[in-house]
Homo-oligomer: A and B are copies of this chain.
Amino acid sequence: MIGIFDSGVGGLTVVKEIFKYLPKYQIIYFGDTARLPYGTKGANFVKKYSEKITRWLLQKKAKAIIIACNTSSAWASDSLKRKFKNVPVFEMISPAIAEALATTKNKKIGIIGTPGTIKSNVYQQKLLKIDPALKIFSQACPLLVPLVEEGLLEDNITIEIIKRYIDPLKKKGIDTLILGCTHYPLLKTVIEDTIDSGIKIINPAESLAKEVKKYLDNNSVVVKKIKQGSAHQFFFSDEPYNLEKISHLCFSKKIKPIVNDPFNV
């Protein structure tokens, strides 16, 4: 099984891409709904719970870990990779960065995300480390997650808010935009229609799924371990809000959640 975790339901957009690129694999998902959102939480908090969840997924026989949460990828992926050396740990940021670098022509890249992800500066730092000549422009978009969770994907209000967030980036002349939050791929179409320009949009969930596929295509030992799984399982640490709406938007079908908080004292 492949273990996938997020602070809530947003990581299901990653599951969607994993199902698309790796349809033969079983997954075990953990959404930390009891403690969401991670985007406005402190770094130490996010690190601590990312580690707890990873340990729990490994106990549940996951043989590879996908951090399907940008905030956790930003703050916890290095320490998780150090602490869990026996399993491959994938995160949202590096594959998206690689794709953005391969996409941009004018070296002007925009990033949108939660306040936590943007404040962490992780996308900017990693991009500039690879190419110091890049110009990076970022924008925290705290209202987009609630709008997605209400299912207001193509609403006038959502369009107005997207304009406010992205127009300043557009004015800077970006030719590539990274959707740095797991909820945002559900807004990809409306963002494209709203910004109405040649800006290429990078969906990190898709970049990640392609990277995992590439890794597994070259690691038959890991593949053999991962394939020893049962059916897909979706765990949440508290009743997930609007799961039906989000899972319908992702998979066009319902999923059956198992609600249980293994870390609750």
Report A's interface with B, CB cutoff 8 A: 33-35, 40-42, 45, 48, 115, 142-143, 145-147, 149-150, 156-157, 160-161, 238-239, 241, 259, 261, 263-265
Q: How far is B160's CA from A146's CA once the two chains are assembled, in angstroms?
A: 16
Within 8 Å by CB of A146, from B34, B143, B156, lies: B143
**Contacting residues, chain B, for A261 (C-beta < 8 A):** 45
Partner of A34, one of B45, B160, B241, B264: B45
Contact B157 A147 (CB under 8 A): no
Show 13 A/B contacts (Cβ-Cβ < 8 Å), sorted by A: A34-B35, A34-B45, A35-B35, A40-B241, A41-B239, A42-B238, A42-B259, A45-B264, A142-B146, A142-B149, A156-B160, A157-B157, A265-B265
Please report whether the interface of chain A is mostly helix, strand, loop or mixed according to DSSP: loop
Question: Assuming the A-B contacts A34-B35, A157-B157, are A42 and B239 also in contact, with contact meaning beta carbons closer than 8 angstroms in the complex?
Answer: yes
**Oligomeric state, in copies:** 2
Residue of B nearest to A52 (CB): B265
Chain B neighbourhood of A263, CB < 8 A: 265
Looking across the interface, which residue of chain B has its beta carbon closest to that of A261?
Answer: B45
Are A41 and B45 neighbours in the complex by a CB distance under 8 Å?
no
A146 cross-chain contacts in B, Cβ below 8 A: 142-143, 145-146
In the bound assembly, the distance between CA atoms of A212 and B65 in angstroms comes to 51
The contact of A238 among B41, B156, B259, by CB within 8 Å, is B41
* Distance from A64 Cβ to chain B, minimum over Cβ atoms (Å): 27
Closest CB of chain B to A31's CB: distance in Å? 12
Which residues of chain B are within 8 angstroms of A33 by Cβ–Cβ distance?
Answer: 40-41
Q: Is the CB of B161 within 8 A of A157?
A: yes
Q: What separation, in Å, do the CA atoms of A25 and B157 have in the docked complex?
A: 43
